[in-house]
Amino acid sequence: MTSSPETAQRSKIKKYKRVLLKISGEALMSDQGFGLHPPTVQRIAQEVKSVQEMGVEICMVIGGGNIFRGLAGSAQGMERTTADYMGMLATVMNALAMQSALEGIGVFTRVISAIRMDEVAEPYIRRRAVRHLEKKRVCIFAAGTGNPYFTTDTAATLRANEMACEAIFKGTKVDGVYDKDPEKFSDAVRYDEVSFDDVLAKRLGVMDASAIALARDNNLPIIVFSLDEPGGFRGILAGEGTYTKVHG
């Protein structure tokens, strides 16, 4: 575990002008166990709007585990490729829900899908997506990478690199990365900063190994914070709050 002075860490956070917010599908279902919880979706949309009002350009990747998870389907005997495509479709549903919530509060958005479905989303074209960000629209990337066997964590890291984001903000249920599960172990210790190599070697579970390796190879920091903390996303960009920075 490594640490740096809090003021220095906050100074770095405040410089970010374009970021990618990665959240799981489970984050949209609250405590109901399945599907979408509209008040939760609206709360997250308000968080995104508050950060955009700071002048930060934002893109998003949302998982689909609240509706369907490809690995779970595969584990129950479904053919893996089919199961993964079903998971990609679940992410499109979540992206549309987030788009509706954001536009309901005056934030212009584009849902951009890696699988063509022109009636509900734009196809992924990198230069067009960059232009949307420059015009202060929130880009919500859906359908993962468009390929089976890749998680939305990997999709988030890929898109963040392609969009020239300065960091990935990973919203979770806890306020950072711990040496073990804080919900199971009262003596779990939170890291202020941790290296990509330590995340991989210690299997800290920030993102899957492919996503961590891709972020490491492109020197893209990952900020892990609690999405359940009201104002947490904006607070970190304003130099406040609790989080873990994963970097080289």
pLDDT mean over 4-14: 47
Residues in the annotated binding site for UMP: 64, 84, 145-152
> Which of 68-77, 194-203, 239-248 shows the highest mean pLDDT?
194-203
Residues in the annotated binding site: 22-25, 64-65, 69, 84, 145-152, 172, 178, 181
Taking the whole predicted model, whether its pTM rises above 0.85 is answered as yes
Identify whether 1 is part of a domain.
Answer: no
Query: Is pLDDT larger for residue 29 or for residue 99?
Result: 99
Proportion of the chain in helix, strand, coil states, percent, rounded to 5: 40, 20, 40
Residues in the annotated binding site for ATP: 22-25, 65, 69, 172, 178, 181
pLDDT band at 228 (very low <50, low <70, confident <90, very high): confident
Identify whether 92 is part of a domain.
Answer: yes
What does the pLDDT read at residue 100? Answer: 97
Identify whether 188 is part of a domain.
Answer: yes
Beta strands in 3-64 (DSSP E): 18-23, 57-62
What residue numbers bound the domain in which 146 lies? 6-247
Q: Using H for helix, E for strand and C for coil, what is the string for 164-224?
A: CCCEEEEEECCCCEECCCCCCCCCCCEECEEEHHHHHHCCCCCCCHHHHHHHHHCCCCEEE
Identify whether 166 is part of a domain.
Answer: yes
Burial 35-65 (b: 16+ CB within 10 A, else e): ebbeebbbebbbbbbbbbeeebbbbbbbbbb
pLDDT mean over 104-125: 97
What does the pLDDT read at residue 8? Answer: 46
Query: Is pLDDT larger for residue 231 or for residue 92?
Result: 92
Q: Which helix (H) or strand (E) holds 152?
A: helix 152-162
What does the pLDDT read at residue 229? Answer: 85
Write the CATH number for 41. 3.40.1160.10
What does the pLDDT read at residue 32? Answer: 81
Domain count, the chain: 1
Identify whether 196 is part of a domain.
Answer: yes
Residues of the chain with pLDDT > 90: what percent? 75
Identify whether 168 is part of a domain.
Answer: yes
Q: Give the CB-side neighbour count of residue 62, counting CA atoms within 13 A.
A: 32
